[in-house]
Each structure stands twice: as structure tokens, then as C-alpha cells.
Structure 1
Amino acid sequence: MALPKKRHSTLRKGRRRAAVLKNFMHKYNIPRRVKE
């Protein structure tokens, strides 16, 4: 999934990615532990 790059999101990059990942997994009903 391609996300538009935001210029000033460098500080919150980690949190943002976590949120996006969570949304992505929730959307496709993927178990949290599938990534190992």
C-alpha cells in the first residue's frame, strides 16, 4: 500500500506507521502475531 509522503511527519513517523499498520491489519483481519 502506497502512502503519500508528508514532509513534516518525520517526528511522529514511528507512531504514524504503527497506526497505519494497525489499521491495515484490522482491515484485513490479520492476527497481530502473524509478523515474526
Structure 2
Amino acid sequence: MISLTLLVSIVNFNDGETNVLEGFLHFILFVVFAFLLFV
């Protein structure tokens, strides 16, 4: 999970600017992490 998050972060932040879709993808990763943490 950590490696997936780091990979997505590197790809998204490589160009220096982000948009709502990339932020939403990070939010989805956080929701999946929280789900796996409690289930």
C-alpha cells in the first residue's frame, strides 16, 4: 500500500502541478487504506 501511494505521488507530482482528479485519486487511496486498517 505504501509503495502504491509513493508511486502515485511520484507520477502525479512530477510535473509540478496537480488537479482535482489527482487529488481525488489520493483520497481514494486513503479510503482504501482506512478500510483495510479496520476490516
With normalisation by structure 2, the TM-score equals: 0.50
- Report the structure number with the largest CA radius of gyration: 1
Where has structure 1 moved over 6 Å in runs of 4 or more? none
Which one of the candidate residues 27, 31, 36 is aligned to 1:18?
Answer: 27
Q: Which runs of 5+ in 1 are unaligned?
A: 30-36
Q: Which runs of 5+ in 2 are unaligned?
A: none
Which letter does structure 2 place at the counterpart of 1:25? Answer: A
**Cα root mean square deviation, aligned:** 2.3
- Which structure features the higher share of helix residues? 2
Share of identical aligned residues, percent?
Answer: 14
Q: Identify the structure with bigger relative contact order (alpha carbons < 8 Å, sequence gap 6+).
A: 2
